[in-house]
Chain A
Amino acid sequence: RKEVEQDPGPFNVPEGATVAFNCTYSNSASQSFFWYRQDCRKEPKLLMSVYSSGNEDGRFTAQLNRASQYISLLIRDSKLSDSATYLCVARGYNFNKFYFGSGTKLNVKP
Chain B
Amino acid sequence: EAQVTQNPRYLITVTGKKLTVTCSQNMNHEYMSWYRQDPGLGLRQIYYSMNVEVTDKGDVPEGYKVSRKEKRNFPLILESPSPNQTSLYFCASSLAGFGTDTQYFGPGTRLTVL
- The interface of chain A, by Cβ under 8 A from chain B, is 4, 8, 32, 34, 41-46, 49, 51, 87, 95-103
Contacts and interface: CB of A to CB of B under 8 A. Distances in A.
B42 A49 contact: no
A87 B40 CA distance: 12
A46 to B, nearest CB: 5
A32 B40 CA distance: 23
A51 to B, nearest CB: 8
A101 B90 CA distance: 15
B100 A32 contact: yes
Q: How large is the interface on B (under 10, 10 to 19, 20 to 34, 35 or more residues)?
A: 20 to 34
A41 B42 CA distance: 11
Contacts, number: 52
Given A43-B108, A97-B58, A32 B99 contact: yes
Which 3 A/B pairs are nearest by Cβ-Cβ distance? Answer: A102-B42, A43-B105, A100-B43
B42 A101 contact: yes
Contact of A44 (B97, B99, B100, B105): B105
Contact of B41 (A43, A45, A96, A102): A102
A87 B105 contact: no
A98 B41 CA distance: 14
A87 B37 CA distance: 12
15 contacts: A4-B42, A8-B40, A32-B99, A32-B100, A41-B88, A43-B108, A45-B105, A46-B103, A51-B100, A95-B97, A98-B103, A100-B35, A100-B43, A101-B42, A102-B41
B106 A100 contact: no
B102 A41 contact: no
Interface stretch (B11-19, B44-52, B64-72, B78-86): B44-52
B107 A43 contact: yes
